[in-house]
Amino acid sequence: METEVIQVSLKEPAQDILEKAGTIIKEGGLVAFPTETVYGLGGNAFNPASSKKIYAAKGRPSDNPLIVHIAKIEDLEKVCRDIPEEAYALAKVFWPGPLTMILPKREEVPVETTGGLSTVAVRLPDHPVALSFIEAAGGFVAAPSANASGRPSPTKAEHVKEDLEGRIEMILDGGDVGIGVESTIVDLTGKVPTILRPGFVTEEMLHRVLETVETDQTLMQGPVAGRPKAPGMKYRHYAPKGSLVLLEGEPEKVARVMQEKLLQAKANGSRAGVLCSSETYPLVEADVKIDLGSRQDESSIAKHLYGALRQFDTEDVSVIYGECFSKEGLGMAVMNRLLKAAGYSVLAAE
Ligand code: TXA
Ligand code: MG
């Protein structure tokens, strides 16, 4: 199939393009679209065949549920049942925005969309193209991130093209996304609201609305025994082709050990890469050096992280050393993704 890539203006998304994209979804096809976090791969949430197509296009295991994207808060009730007060309180403050809520699903939502679960993930994104597209598509778009399974999530339309060209009908190109890491997922089906995936909306921010909220303690650890709460968490994600090792410690020590390791890698004939802050950047030499932004600027690091991981693949880097960042605020989401990408391989710089 030919994948049509269409540029869409954020200020005034062209109505005819949105109509065309909406019709593709209504007819059971797939359209990738920009959101404020990462690009999504959309299908009709109420059509089991569409969800199956999404899994096939991504090469994603079918027990890993999709997020249902809506464009109006009222539509939450068409997807979920037994909605607690907390969900409305959160929606009021954080929607539209980078927060996904897990709630009991209504019968009408097919299990193909929820990976066999009786709960469903719902999100109302904060992006003009996403919102008008969801409306044009009938209001309920099931979408995972629009990457091939195992690759970093796409933060620009070219990334989607790299992974999914020829497998989907259309890509709506809305330029670079604003945030760069996926939404915060909060599970509201248990006794205590629990963060299953850290994102832009932090535990501290959720605390302003919720009396109690916890973060799943396994988030920053390697694979654990048992069934993970968010099925997606058990798969190795965001992994570059080269081996990525993170260095932790005082900045000067990190830079020194990084340089030693990079020289060793070069001596062994490897193509070496480094992923670091603007502060570390001038202190190390490598075949491919990527500056994610200042250590002080978590939003820059989040925004550039996935593109950087992809660049190492494009440039065939086989050994990568990365810097550990603060886990405060958005840093928690950054470190969660970096640790996963590194397969939890962290070295103390001494
Ligand atoms: O920012 C985002 O959330 C992006 C954009 C496109 O909206 N979407 C996204 O989707 O990241 P995806 O499929 O890549 O990640 C969804 C995560 C997976 O880890 C999945 O296991 C979890 O949400 N999830 C979905 N439904 C769930 C449920 N009912 N219970 C627990 N976890 C669920
Ligand atoms: Mg994903």
Q: What is the pLDDT of residues 12-40, one digit of tens each?
A: 889 999 999 999 999 999 999 999 999 99
Q: What percent of the chain stands above pLDDT 90?
A: 88
CA distance 291 to 301: 9
Summarize pLDDT for 80-118 with one digit per residue, the tens: 999 999 999 999 999 999 999 999 999 999 999 999 999
Average pLDDT, the chain: 94
Q: 184-187 and 99-104: which strand pairing?
A: parallel
Q: How many whole angstroms from 46 Cα to the centroid of ligand 1?
A: 17
* Residue 7 pLDDT class (50, 70, 90 cuts): very high
What torsion, rounded to 10 degrees, do the Cα atoms 71, 73, 76, 82 define?
170
pLDDT at 227 over 60: no
Ligand 2 (single-atom ion) residues, CB below 5 Å: 145
C-beta separation of 340 from 237 below 8 A: yes
Q: How many whole angstroms from 163 Cα to the centroid of ligand 1?
A: 19
Look at ligand 1, atom 31, and give the residue with the nearest C-alpha. 230
User: What is the per-residue pLDDT for 165?
Assistant: 98
* Residue 224 pLDDT class (50, 70, 90 cuts): low
Summarize pLDDT for 267-316 with one digit per residue, the tens: 999 999 999 999 999 999 999 999 999 999 999 999 999 999 999 999 99
Ligand 1, residues 124, 182, 216: which to mutate, most atoms within 8 A of Cβ?
182
Q: Where is 131: in which H helix or E strand?
A: helix 128-136
Q: What percent of the chain stands above pLDDT 70?
A: 95
Phi, psi of 33 (to 5 degrees): -145, 155
Q: Is the CB of 183 under 6 A from ligand 1?
A: yes
pLDDT at 236 over 70: no
Q: Which of 168, 163, 129 is nearest to 17 (CA)?
A: 129
User: What is the per-residue pLDDT for 240?
Assistant: 87
Q: How many whole angstroms from 166 Cα to the centroid of ligand 1?
A: 24
CA distance 149 to 238: 9
Least confident of 71-75, 199-203, 226-230, 239-243: 226-230
What's the token pair of residue 189?
């089906």
Least confident of 85-94, 136-145, 215-224, 231-240: 231-240
CA distance 261 to 245: 10
Q: How many whole angstroms from 254 Cα to the centroid of ligand 2?
A: 30
Neighbours of 92 (CB within 10 A): 10
User: What is the per-residue pLDDT for 232?
Assistant: 59
Q: Is the CB of 180 under 6 A from ligand 1?
A: no
CA distance 130 to 71: 8
Look at ligand 1, atom 10, and give the residue with the nearest C-alpha. 144
Q: How many whole angstroms from 149 Cα to the centroid of ligand 2?
A: 7
pTM of the predicted protein model: 0.95
